[in-house]
Structure 1
Amino acid sequence: MVNLLIVGTCVAVALFVIFGIIGVGLSGVLRWIIFAVLLIAVLVLGAFLMWSIMAYRAFSYDGNRKLSKQIIDGTADYIKVPKGGKCLDVGCGSGALTIACAKKNPDATIIGVDRWGKEYANFSNMLCCKNAKAEGVKNVKFVKGNACKLDFADETFDAVTSNYVYHNIAGANKQELLLESLRVLKKGGTFAIHDLMSKARYGDMQQFKKKLLDMGYESVELIDTTNGMFMTKKESKYLQLGGSTLLVGKKT
């Protein structure tokens, strides 16, 4: 996205300069309208570019902030898989969370599932395998699938996790997505799902927590990760991560 914004900003600037040269012969009103439109385009694209660069540096594993690593490792800390057990990472993307869970649970198998759609063309099964190999992790497997209807039987996994996935699935009821992920969790299994769980996206999550407890789940918690756990409130606002929350618990 940063590269596309760089190109777009450069094109807007070039058009602005070119128009400044060749637009002299246009009538006053028309000239100023085009001039204003191009100027606004340059300013908007420039501002968005600066924000994207800032966000990229904050998230990058190579940057000073390394927010992605903090979130991934922090979420993986909640995943405890018994020896010989299996964990599912829903929407694994590039495999970061899958790999982190595999490192923390070397005697278990961690399976990452993703649809790897065209919206995320930079991610693929091949990239996940490449990243796992680079990290020296062998207890992982990556498969293609859909978070809306997981291709696994009920109570298949000892743990289920996910990071910043469900809010991206347009048109889907987020609480139903959570229940679909919990469907494949074994009794006694644990879950840790991190996402932007604002009321606008997820509805009443306190009510959902109560629903899970009524269904027999244990130790269900909604943990605000913008209170200094993963990021500050200020960071969550300018990085557009408001509502970041960890849903954790145990299925009984």
Structure 2
Amino acid sequence: MKPDYKNWVPNGMVYGFLGATGGALILTLIFGVEGIVGKVLLVITIVLALMTLWMFLMHRAFSYNGSRQMSKQIIDGVSAYVKIPDGGKGLDVGCGSGALTIACAKKNPNAQMVGIDRWGKEYASFSKTLCESNAEAEGAANVSFGQGDATKLGFEDETFDAVTSNYVYHNIPSRDRQAILLETLRTLKKGGTFVIHDIMSKSKYGDIESFAKKLKDMGYEDVRLVDTTSGMFMNKFEATWMGLSGSTILMGKK
């Protein structure tokens, strides 16, 4: 039995754009390109075709079965920073298919990992059942999964010895993603570690460097921002065409 972590760009998303491109092309052929309607349809067809190509290339790069395997590289890289004391407990926010939760559990076999997600329709192929199946396939018995909301976590203050997340918060519609970070950090015990990887560009997070300084002023220790687009997980060119510019790990200790 092998784990199935799916793809961060789901098949349905690629096929959806492919189908839309095909439909637009058929309409373009029907109307022709002489009139205004035909010209508009042609432009729409070209745009959809480019989007489909972009989706396909992203899907190939993130595939666990392909040669690039960027998602596996990122999961392995982020989990390497997650340290949980024996008997402790860690939280993974937005666990998806369970990849990061399970990787952290395997690197900390004497601790427990909890993965939460809302498993929305945008990623219908991800589910609690899939996470549990992947954990079983990986032989990770020290994990559990449940429904959760990153903007309002159902845990008391200082519950976990480590908190982590990977490419989650930028997907949440919000004017203040720094507040989401603080909600996650609220559940971290004194002395616990945090490792959060996301697209922390100014347009999505505001001034993340000022936020890191704010955490230090609040008493957090060893707060660091690690750029993951300069060869760590990807190069600048990949980050640009994939829309991942600004990918950064925010890490430290409470």
| TM superposition score category, shorter chain reference | over 0.9
Equivalent of residue 81 in structure 2, options 68, 78, 82: 78
1:42 counterpart residue number: 45
Q: Percent identity?
A: 61
SS of equivalent to 1:246 = strand
Paired position in structure 1 for 2:147: 144
| 2:18 corresponding residue in structure 1 | 6
Q: How many Å separate the matches in 1 of 2:109 and 2:213?
A: 34
- Report the CA distance between 1:18 and its aligned residue: 3.1
CA distance in 2, matches of 1:114, 1:132: 15
**Residue 118 of structure 1: how far off its partner (Å):** 2.3
| Corresponding position of 1:249 | 252
CA pair 89-172 structure 1, distance change in 2 beyond 3 A: farther
**2-side partners of 1:203 and 1:38: how far apart?**
38
Aligned residue pair count:
242
Greater than 6 Å deviation, 4+ residue runs: none
Q: CA deviation at 1:39?
A: 1.4
TM-score, normalised with respect to structure 2: 0.92
What are the within-5 Å matches in structure 2 for residues 90-129 of structure 1?
A: 90-129=93-132
Matched residue type, 1:214: D
How far is 1:15 from its partner? 2.1
CA displacement 1:189-230 (0-9 Å, x = unmatched): 101000010111111111111111111111100011111111
Larger Rg: 1
**CA–CA separation in structure 1 for the residues paired with 2:157 and 2:150:** 14
User: In the alignment, is residue 173 of structure 1 matched against residue 185 of structure 2?
Assistant: no
Secondary structure class of the residue paired with 1:80: coil
Cα-Cα RMSD: 1.3
Distance 2:18 2:208 in 1: 39
Distance in structure 2 (CA, Å) of the matches to 1:37 and 1:2: 23
Are 1:153 and 2:165 counterparts? no
* Aligned-partner residue type, residue 5 of structure 1: F
What is the TM-score normalised by the length of structure 1?
A: 0.92
Deviations 1:93-143 (A, max 9, x none): 111110111111111111001111223222211121122222222111001
5+ unaligned residues in a row in structure 2: which ranges? 1-12
